[in-house]
Structure 1
Amino acid sequence: MTNYMPDRWFDRLKEERGKIYKTHYSTRFKDAWEAGEFLVKNLTHLEAQTRRFIEIFFSQTLPPYVLEAVSSQASIIRTPTCFWLEDGNFFGYEGCDKSVGCCPLNCTHVWNYAQSLAFLFPSLERSMRKTDFLNNVKPDGDMAFRTTLPLGEGRYWDHEPAADGQMGRIISLYRDWQLSGDMDFLKKIWPNTKKALEYSWTSWDKDRDGIMEGVQHNTYDIEFYGPNSMTSSIYLGALLAGSRMAESIGDKEAARVYMEIFEKGRKKFDKILWDGDYYIQKDERVMEEKYQYGTGCLSDQILGQWFSMVAGLGRFLPEERVKTSLQSIFRNNFLTNFRTHSNMQRIYALGDEKGLLVCSWPKGSRPPVPVRYCDEVWTGIEYQVASHMIYEGLIEEGLSIVKAIRERYDGWKRNPWNEEECGNHYARAMASWGVLLALSGYTYSGPEMRIGFDPKIYQENFRCFWSTGSGWGRFSQKTDNGKKEKIELLVALGKLKLKQFAFHLPPSLQDKKIESLKVRSGNKSLKTDFIQDGNRINVKWKKPCVLKTGERIEIEAQF
């Protein structure tokens, strides 16, 4: 059975009510019969590719509840939350009801969290960056945090910009550039990227000290006042991303200025926002203005550091303080039951269920009207915190949060494919892909033709799925009697161009020195150099090695 529903509509603006938009598949098929003919003709091929993906994805050596969390929330891409139009642009609401989306459209401060689309369908994600920067950035650099249709008519969402959304989209651009390696894509967007980043200096960071002090609209549908760790951490990530992109393009002056502000900002961030246990908001108006968090333990307190880890920018805050902050979040915000939890807001966890609160005040001083949604449980934030914990070595804590989510959405009490927030199939839940990235320690740079893995569990016999802008496949590593390490990188579909391949030694081989290393692709030995830096091995090719569908690299290290 096939269906054919080629029309979508966007009626959030009265000027556009009644206007019909054509879906992308309407450009390929004229009716359901033609779609059915295509399916029958190509069924063998389509089924084989689908089963290949299923085989590789579900053979990963990750806990079943992790595989379920990552795979189930990727289904959001195919719900009414998302749509792909005939011009090739992809759009997403925040969530949806039974037939249409709710909370329009490409909301920057929600979609910041979502990672599934970028790693599964990177070209569609890049279309969202083009919309962000080529259609939604106004002449002064203010980025509309919701998209209006049709594109290109100069009509913007009528609201002040979102500080977290605007800075987060710059980090997302860096991620998408790294996944694709497409310099033309980056160059086209770069002028408006500069405008969007430098807009901060006329609104949120007028003294250019790397800390946001101005009025900052954000994902809690409120404004933060003064210096706070949540939005300023994202700003720092955007400055770092901006500096690296500017350097790559050859805009050396912008790279220098952004890095200078970044360095000032991260020093001040630590000096004024660290309270000894976690990062806070520092402003005299906390108890007077509505919706502030002050000395509260906000689960999103270093959200920008997580964004940066996922995007490949690395850690820029002190390692021990990041780890201590995450431990504080777990200790104060993760509840093992909700029987005594008072919540006058929306209820996403109750009774004997476990979950992570948006915010708590373990040291007192809860504002009279605290940050909105503070007593709620959002799976998108839970996945963000869980994967950040895993990045920092807090494996048990991170996995316990993921397990708690899947126990709530177990198919008996709630739909396992529908993690709700403001609507069904809520886009923020696609932060779950970050758990896979963190557990595999996956890194990739298309411009540098570099891939790497650093598994956090089951290192002696590990398998995982990987994906880039040009292909996807499987990575595996296996230890043989503590004397040999075998590595395999398979391209299941597409292609992969490499000049560097990094992997890490498992616990049984820690601190051992490699005596010999052989690299093969099929029946061919490859000439490589390698550098061992402690437990990290970096294999290098003088000329790029190109792997196509079905091809693999095999590495054997002797100790």
Structure 2
Amino acid sequence: MNKLTLKISIVFVLLHLVCTVKAQKWNSTWPVLKTYEGKHLAEVAMPLGGIGTGTVSIGGKGDLRDWEIMNRGAIGYLPAFKLVAPTIANGPFFALYYKKGNDNAKIKVLEGPIDIKDYYGDWGANAVNSGFPRFEKATFAAAYPMAQINFEHRDVPIDIRLEAFNPLVVGDADRSGIPVAILRYVMTNNTDESVETSLVGMVPNYIGTDGWSGEPNGNYNEYRENGKLKGLYMYSEGVDKKDINWGTMALTTLSDGEASYRTSWAKLGWNWTFREFWDDFIADGKITDHPERSSSENAKETEFIGDNLGNSTTKIKTPPATLAVKQTLQPGESKTVTYMLTWHFPNRTAWNNMLHHHGTAIVGNYYATQYENAWEVAEKTAANFEMLEKETINFVSALANSDIPDVLKEAGLFNLNNLRSQTVFRTADGLPFGWEGTGSIFGTKIGAEKASGWGHGTCFHVWNYESTIPFLFGDLSTKFREVEFMHATNEQGAQSHRVNLPISNAKGFRHWAADGQMGTLIKMYRDWQLSGDDDKLRSMWPNIKKAMSFAWTGIWDTNKDGVMEGSQHNTMDINYVGPNPQMAGWYLGALKASAEMASYLGDKKFEKECNDLYKRGRKWIDTNIFNGDYYEHHIPEEASKVAQLGKGCLVDQLVGQYLAHTTGLGYVLDQDNVRSTLKSIMKYNYVDNFNEHFNTFRSFAIGDEAGLVMASYPKEGTLLDFPFPYYTELMTGFEYSTAAHMIYEGQVENGLKIFSDIRNRYDGYKRNPFNEGEYGHRYARAMAAWAGILAYTGFQYSAVNQTMKFNSNEGQYFWSNGYQYGTVKLENQSDNIKVTLSSHNADIMLKSFTLNGYGILKFKKAKTFEKGKEVSFIISHNDNEAGFLTDPKIK
């Protein structure tokens, strides 16, 4: 081929691409952190729902899946409806009708191609709604809790994009706890002719069953209007109002177009029900109701037409609520259709996971006390829609547009969805609780068990790791501490590390965990510092003292020397015997935190007692169990070595130090030893190819994937015959906490590598990027990921002392203390750094501002930084008396 021919070929190919491939267009006001397409859409499923409300997930191709809006985890559950055997089921869908000029009208389901794994089942394709024509390509762009999906098809005359989200407002758990999934379809006519369009959505009214138990009974749908809001209210007359699966749902729209609806579909056999819908909708883009009961004199009951097998029915068990909105788009015009799916299921029971049945007493749902039913949810959301969206965008944009590495932002933000999954719930009194993780309706082949929730009781030693809630929802985090100290701590100071429900029986689980209990003390100090709530601290102080004292009056620090040597139950599901680094760090952190709180409250005796134990314990640990590379577990000679760590290098050995850094407690172990240990963990525990790694238990990394394993035994002859059970595994919560700690210690490259390895495993193709599991899905410990943001920015805040701290690296960074959030911009100017600080959602007061390792600005009097205003000031190197600029730049 000569050069001229080659150039002509290239030009032809480029022109062909321009003519046939539509450019990706996103909502420019919505931030994007990650984009998925092609094979990487297969596992993508982003949950839509609020804190403690349950969720439904938007799939990578645009479908709604994993319907978990009732009171149990149910990943994999998809409600559907059908009338008679052998009819196939129709599941929830949204579809587009379009008609250009004199062309024939067409319909396409608003989904991308079916994944190849669903091509093959007992009845052909194993995907619900597989008979619909669909779009040729979908591209999914996300910055949780916002997802955009662009749908592409060469023959569709309009561009269409889905914008899906649930409100997330920093510091406001109520407005972040709305039971709603918002789906906005944006249509643009890029042709030179008008295009007639209609969007239709269908959701089966499946009240009465949640994928695990129950049956629909007497379910009906009712069309309603209230001003701009119109749609279908779903209820049941037959399901017991005390049943866990009783409640209400609604499918509504806020759009101005011409609405039509169906409270139910025609009662026809075989595939005729679906065919009748198709013929009705494609005729003019509107749908005709087939009510199951007369709502007016003109409404007609539909007579059932059976099949040749003699099947008959008089009632659709899960009547499909169907809502269409018709509009015409002129050339160049864009219009939207916004749907809201809302729900209201008040009858949550106590730790009912369908496996161990920890209780059947109704404890209720906090969100259900805020609304009368699902229709009221829609009304209240509609009334505040613009503000809820704006505040969600503002928060996510502040983070996404900062100079924090993308992988840290992605890990922190995407794992935030765990807080708003069925992993977490709030009982009617507003107190929060959490499973370790949730279950799928498919269960596990390797365990041969099914459960809707795994690990009941807000297991303290699991929940200790998360660093997300305190820095985004401070009041909610403090309520977790209220459960731990005001309800789960007994008179002797022992905490039930799994909380029973109802709350009156919180102490009924009579087992104590050393790491769990010590961690709650560090978290109590952290949450008090972030909130500045002295009254809350004082009210809990008697039980805080008891919980701390239990460490040396109970079974752990048996000789009260600042070192635990007794039987120490912990998150490895074993009881360590003898001094070990994991419990040592927790204990030292708890002692230091308790001493600080005692000092503030004027309890000098207890302050001295805790400080004395802390100093003695720290010196002994650093002197005796650090081997030059890392800290070792010393098992007493007379003790059994079964299910112990021994001389292994544990990924989690510095967890207490990790949490101490996030709380501003400083070092609880020798700094040099800590840094050497982290380097050793990276050296000995990092696996770059799991195809070559022997694992005796669960596999969370496979093939050529990489990450940090739980323990290694680099010293010859040190591997125990029966080490603790998880030693060959890898789990993201432990990896995140360790990687964040590496970043704190200046080992940024290693820390970012671990974060990247994790997110590469959850890439949308191999695993769902919104579902990091461990003991169940959407595991609570994975919310340690937020600590990566804290470590990289060096952000620390104290409402008690009214101080804020950051690292001194040039750039713009996000910050949040659980109540206020904003940005800080750092600019190098000769020997000074110009700081521009802003709070985005509320005023914040500071007495000093520190750039770590550089300098500190002390204000002559407390300075109020007003919401929405940028204030600039200068900090000179090692200058303790730096002041504001003469003319502060205020916007």
Q: How many angstroms apart in 1 are the aligned matches of 2:360 and 2:747?
A: 51
Go from structure 1 to structure 2 and tell me whether the alpha carbon gap of 1:15 and 1:373 turns closer, same or farther (over 3 Å shift): closer
1:21 corresponds, among 336, 352, 363, to 363
1:190 to 541, 563, 567: 541
Matches within 5 A, 1:327-406: 327-364=679-716, 365-406=718-759
- Offset, 1:95: 0.6
1:195 CA displacement: 0.6
In structure 2, list runs of 5 or more residues that go unmatched: 1-339, 442-451, 878-891
Letter in 1 for 2:866: K
The residue type equivalent to 1:547 in the other structure is F
Inter-partner Cα distance in structure 2 for 1:154 and 1:49: 36
Q: Which of 469, 473, 477 is equivalent to 1:121? A: 473
Aligned to 2:405: 63
Instruction: Describe the shift of the 1:44–1:388 C-alpha distance in structure 2 as closer, same or farther (beyond 3 A).
Output: same
What's the CA shift for 1:341? 0.8
1-side partners of 2:574 and 2:791: how far apart?
30
User: What letter corresponds to residue 788 of structure 2 in structure 1?
Assistant: V
Q: Deviations over 1:485-530 (max 9, x none)?
A: 32111110122111111125xxxxxxxxxxxxxxxxxxxxxxxxxx
1:496 aligned onto 2:844: yes
Deviation string 1:516-552 (CA, Å, 9 cap, x unpaired) is xxxxxxxxxxxxxxxxxxx522111232222232133
2:611 to 256, 259, 262: 259
**Counterpart-to-counterpart distance in 2, 1:473 and 1:185:** 26
Q: Give the corresponding residue for 2:649.
A: 297
Question: Structure 2: how far apart are the matches of 1:239 and 1:408?
Answer: 38
8 Å contact kept, 1:490–1:552: yes
Q: Which amino acid aligns with 1:178?
A: Q
Work out whether 1:446 is the aligned partner of 2:799.
Answer: yes
Equivalence for 2:343: 3
In structure 1, stretches of 5+ residues that fail to align are: 505-534
1:549 partnered with 2:891: no
Q: Which residue of 1 aligns with 2:416?
A: 74
Partner residue in 2 for 1:309 = 661
Count of aligned pairs between the two proteins:
523
CA distance in 2, matches of 1:106, 1:397: 31
In structure 2, the partner of 1:510 is none
Which whole-Å CA distance do the structure 2 matches of 1:42 and 1:235 have between them?
Answer: 46
Q: Please state how far the C-alpha of 1:15 moved relative to its aligned partner.
A: 9.2
Equivalent residue for 1:172, pick from 513, 520, 523: 523
Assess if the C-alpha contact under 8 Å between 2:423 and 2:778 holds in 1: yes
- Tell me, yes or no, if the aligned pair for 2:815 and 2:822 is still in contact at 8 Å: yes
Contact 1:162 1:216 (8 Å CA) reproduced? yes
Q: Which amino acid in structure 2 is aligned with residue 486 of structure 1? A: K
- 2:812 aligned residue: 463
What residue number does 1:516 align with? none
1:228 Cα deviation (Å)?
0.6
| TM-score (normalised: structure 2) | 0.57
Q: 8 Å contact 2:577–2:636 — kept in the other structure? A: no
- Name the residue aligned to 1:282: 634
Letter paired with 2:543: N
More displaced stretch, 356-365 vs 24-33: 24-33
8 Å contact 2:772–2:779 — kept in the other structure? yes
Letter matched to residue 840 of structure 2: A
Shift of 1:411: 0.8
Residue of 486, 491, 497 corresponding to 1:134: 486
* Cα deviation, residue 554, structure 1: 1.1
Could you give the per-residue CA deviations for residues 110-157 of structure 1, whole angstroms, max 9, x where no partner exists?
000001111111111110101101111111111100111111346421
Quick check: 164-173 or 279-288, which moved more?
A: 279-288
SS at match of 2:726: coil
Q: Note if contact 1:272-1:282 (Cα within 8 Å) is conserved in structure 2.
A: no
Residue deviations 1:358-386 (CA, integer Å, cap 9, x gap): 00100031111102201000100101110
* Secondary structure of 1:22's aligned partner: coil
Counterparts of 1:536 and 1:453 in 2: how far apart (Å)?
Answer: 10
Deviation at 1:483, TM superposition (A): 5.7
Q: 1:281 to 1:302 in 2, by over 3 A?
A: same
Counterpart selection for 1:538 from 856, 867, 870: 856
2:376 to 15, 24, 34: 34
**Match for 1:97 among 439, 448, 455?**
439
Question: How big is the alpha-carbon RMSD for the aligned residues of Structure 1 and Structure 2?
Answer: 1.8
Contact 1:179–1:468 (CA<8 Å) still a contact in 2? yes
Show CA shifts across 1:327-383 (max 9, x none). 000000011111221112000011110010000100031111102201000100101
Answer with 85-94 or 131-140: which moved more.
Answer: 85-94
* Matched residue type, 2:724: V
The alpha carbon displacement at 1:309 in A equals 0.7
Paired with 1:268 and 1:423, the residues of 2 have a C-alpha distance of: 38
Offset at residue 206 of structure 1 (A): 2.1
- 1:215, CA displacement in angstroms? 0.2
Q: Which residue of 2 aligns with 1:45?
A: 387
Q: CA offset at residue 180 of structure 1?
A: 0.4
TM-score normalised to structure 1 length? 0.91
- Tell whether the 8 Å contact from 1:82 to 1:101 is kept in structure 2 after alignment: no
| Rounded Cα–Cα distance in structure 2 between residues aligned with 1:235 and 1:557 | 37
Question: 1:200 aligned to 538, 544, 551, which one?
Answer: 551
